[in-house]
Structure formats: C-alpha cells, structure tokens
C-alpha cells in the first residue's frame, strides 16, 4: 500500500465512518444472535438431554425390577440407578433445585454402596 492510498479526502473519510456504524451494528446483531443460538443448544444439551437420559435409565431399572427381570441388588439394576440418579443430580444442580439434588445424590450414594457391597460379596 502506498502513501497515496492511505490518504483520503474529508468526504471519503466521512462516508467511510458513516457506513462503518451500520456495518458494525449489523455484525454485532448477527454475532449476538449466533452466540444466543449456540448457548441455547449447549444449555439444552446440558440440562434436557442429561435429564431425559437419567430418567430413562432409572425408569428402565424400575420397570425391569417390577417385572422380575432384574433383582434390586443386581449389578445391572444398581448400575442403572447410579448412573441415572447421578445424571439427574447433575441436572438438579444446574437448575438450582436443591431438594431434588439431595434426593438424587442420596439415590446415587445408595446405589454405589449397593454396588460396593455386591462386589465384596462376590
């Protein structure tokens, strides 16, 4: 770039500055929208997907236990309960639902203790 290309007259400079505001505002709006969309997707993944997976694991364990397919002290049952309640505990923590968080942590600890006891007996 030469010195001649760097020098502008007053009209060119004012035109550039006038249009720069419009361009920057447009970019900021687009960037803000993109950030909001990305944050929404991450938020959904952190909260909803985790909650649904945890819920399905716990309900699967409960369904299989009530149908006499699994025993409540079986490693599979306890594993499903531990992972499911752990995931729901994470969700409860993320949404500041402390009573639900304490409940899920209690279920998680009970399932882990059951797994430890089961592994010691085998």
Q: What is the pTM of this model?
A: 0.62
As separate numbers, helices (DSSP H) first and strands (DSSP E) second, the chain gives: 5, 0
pLDDT at 93: 85
Q: What pLDDT band is residue 29 in, cutting at 50, 70 and 90?
A: low
Cβ–Cβ under 8 Å, residues 113 and 65: no
């Amino acid at each position: 770039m030469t010195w001649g290309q760097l020098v502008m007259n007053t009209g060119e400079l004012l035109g550039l500055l006038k249009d720069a505001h419009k361009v920057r505002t447009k970019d900021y709006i687009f960037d803000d929208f993109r950030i909001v969309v990305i944050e929404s997707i991450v938020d959904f993944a952190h909260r909803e997907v985790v909650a649904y997976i945890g819920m399905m694991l716990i309900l699967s364990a409960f369904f299989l236990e009530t149908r006499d397919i699994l025993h409540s002290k079986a490693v599979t049952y306890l594993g499903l309960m531990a992972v499911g309640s752990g995931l729901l505990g994470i969700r409860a923590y993320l949404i500041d639902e402390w009573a639900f968080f304490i409940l899920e942590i209690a279920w998680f600890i009970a399932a882990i203790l059951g797994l430890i006891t089961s592994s010691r007996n085998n």
